[in-house]
């Protein structure tokens, strides 16, 4: 049985790519894949897929699709410093609720 990885990112977070050929690019998280420890980021890791002729595409076609990227290769963007940051969790002492914070600045993630 394959275990699920703990991913602190959420759908809709803005992330920056830390390594690889698309280093420095920024995009929005479209989907999380906890079984694979990957995330799909808008505009990052786009590949071309060749589709054979069928009823929908009588001539066949080449489609561009977005593939997942490893979570370790992305970091959430801290808007105050415009750089990547790690995510920490702060527990409210009064009611025990948890909030995500930027490790670099200590500010709360909205």
CB 55 within 8 Å of CB 80: no
**pLDDT interval class at 100 (50, 70, 90):** very high
Radius of gyration of the chain (CA): 18
Instruction: Give the pair of three-digit tokens for residue 53.
Output: 């002729």
Q: What is the pLDDT of residues 33-85, one digit of tens each?
A: 999 999 999 999 999 999 999 999 999 999 999 999 999 999 999 998 889 99
Give the closest residue to 9 by CA, choosing from 63, 54, 93, 75: 75
3 pLDDT band, cuts 50/70/90, is confident
Q: Which domains can be identified in the chain, with CATH numbers?
A: 14-83 (2.30.30.30)
Cα 73 to Cα 40: distance, rounded to the nearest angstrom: 12
Per-residue confidence band for 1, with pLDDT thresholds at 50, 70 and 90: low
- The DSSP result for 28-70, as a single string, is EEEEEETTTTEEEETTSSEEEEEE---SS-TT-EEEEEEPPEE
């Amino acid at each position: 049985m394959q275990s699920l990885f703990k991913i602190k990112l959420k759908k809709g977070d803005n992330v920056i790519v830390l390594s690889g050929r698309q280093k420095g690019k920024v995009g929005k998280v479209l989907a999380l894949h906890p079984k694979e420890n990957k995330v799909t980021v808008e505009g990052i890791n786009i590949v071309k897929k060749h589709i054979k002729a069928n009823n929908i595409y009588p001539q066949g076609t080449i489609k561009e699709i977005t593939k997942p990227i490893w979570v370790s290769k992305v970091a959430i963007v801290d808007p105050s410093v415009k750089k990547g940051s790690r995510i920490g969790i702060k527990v409210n002492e009064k009611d025990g609720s948890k909030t995500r914070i930027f490790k670099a600045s200590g500010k709360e993630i909205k």
